[in-house]
Amino acid sequence: MDQDREDAGTLAALMIRMKEERLPRALRILDRVNSGEKLSETDIDFLERVYDDSRNTQPLLVRHPEYHSLIVRSLDLYTEIITKGLENEKSG
């Protein structure tokens, strides 16, 4: 299979995962930390998986810079969750 076709399949799978799984879950976690809750172990595991996946997809994103702004926005969301979770940990 050629690289463009393989990339297209991988990107499609990543976008589906983002839309159906990761974004909804991240928004639920954000709501919880914004209401003062601490991050759970499950939340931390999820955030670690997202981080690992983002590192593993870097070569793909280098080949497809048109996705950079979407990735940056999603990473900003995860950063906001982590920052707020740490604040809650320190204050709780």
Nearest to 88 by CA among 26, 31, 36, 32: 36
Record the tokens describing residue 68, joined without a space.
């950079």
Predicted pLDDT at 92: 72
Apex 2 CA angle, 22 and 70, nearest 5 = 30
Domain assignments of the chain as residue spans, ordered by start: 3-91
What pLDDT does 1 receive? 65
Residues 6+ apart with CB under 8 A from 80: 30
Query: Can you tell me the distance from the alpha carbon of 10 to that of 20, in angstroms, rounded to the nearest whole number?
Result: 15
Give pLDDT < 50 ranges for the chain: none
